[in-house]
A = this chain, B = another copy of it.
Amino acid sequence: MAQNTASKLNETSRSAVGRDGVLDIAARLFREQGYGSVSLRKIAEAAGIKAGSIYYHFGSKDEIVAAVLDAGIQVVHASMRDAVTALPADTDGETVLRAAIRAHLRALLDVSDYTSANVRIFGQVPQSVRDANLPTRRAYEAEWDSLLSRLQEDGALKQDVDIRRLRLMLIGALNATLDWFDPDRGSADALSHTYADVFLNGILERKDA
């Protein structure tokens, strides 16, 4: 997210400026430590400013968290939508679904502290903050439902699976990788391939094949 006005020096920590810089740091800390462990003091320290100064940019801690949560969904939504629309119109269903899975997993595991922070802390934030994030989430969910419905109508997916339930199962499974994914054991891309294999074909040895 960030896009600071100018420099890109000192990547790791110090002197992140402005509202976006604070937001970037907050997202990273929330992803790393969860919601409850991250105080405004911690965010301020990581940003190289004092806690009170944060209130120049934000009205409350909830406002920061809400901004992080919304951006997190927007990033993964755009990633998934772009990956799908970039394909030729006549692409087969399996390839489309694989692209969507890959885009979701890349946003979550490779690209965005905002997306991973959202997945990690959504269940920890106050109800009011969760509610504020719901419309954004609904839009992303609708994108998936639309995709899955289309594939089912095209005959690519089994007819007897409930789209809503399938979406919950799939996104839930993908998001759960955040708890154990380790880039040293294989890339997010490779992992997305495995997930696609399992969801598309299952793990049972088949007598035919």
Residues of A within 8 A of B (CB): 34-36, 94, 120, 123-124, 155-159, 161-162, 165-166, 168-169, 172-173, 175-177, 179-180, 194-195, 198-205, 208
Contact sample, A vs B, 6 pairs, CB 8 Å cutoff: A157-B204, A158-B203, A159-B205, A169-B173, A172-B179, A200-B204
What residue in chain B is nearest A191 (Cβ atoms)? B165
Q: Copies of this chain, how many?
A: 2
7 closest A-B pairs by CB: A172-B176, A36-B36, A202-B202, A173-B173, A201-B202, A200-B204, A200-B202
Determine how close the nearest CB of chain B comes to the CB of A129; give it in whole angstroms.
Answer: 12
Q: How far is the CA of A175 from the CA of B176 in the complex (A)?
A: 8
A208-B205 contact given A173-B172, A176-B175, CB 8 Å threshold: no
A202-B198 contact given A36-B36, A123-B179, A176-B173, CB 8 Å threshold: yes
A156-B205 contact given A169-B173, A177-B172, CB 8 Å threshold: yes
Q: Which residues of B contact A172 (CB under 8 A)?
A: 173, 176-177, 179-180
What residue in chain B is nearest A166 (Cβ atoms)? B203
Task: Decide: A204 and B94 in contact? CB cutoff 8 A.
Answer: yes
- 15 extra interface residue pairs, beta carbon distance < 8 Å, beyond A156-B205, A158-B204: A34-B123, A36-B124, A120-B123, A157-B204, A162-B194, A165-B194, A168-B177, A168-B180, A169-B176, A169-B194, A172-B176, A172-B179, A198-B202, A201-B202, A201-B204
What residue in chain B is nearest A34 (Cβ atoms)? B124
A202-B199 contact given A124-B34, A168-B180, A179-B123, CB 8 Å threshold: yes
What residue in chain B is nearest A161 (Cβ atoms)? B203
Q: Which residues of B contact A123 (CB under 8 A)?
A: 34, 120, 179
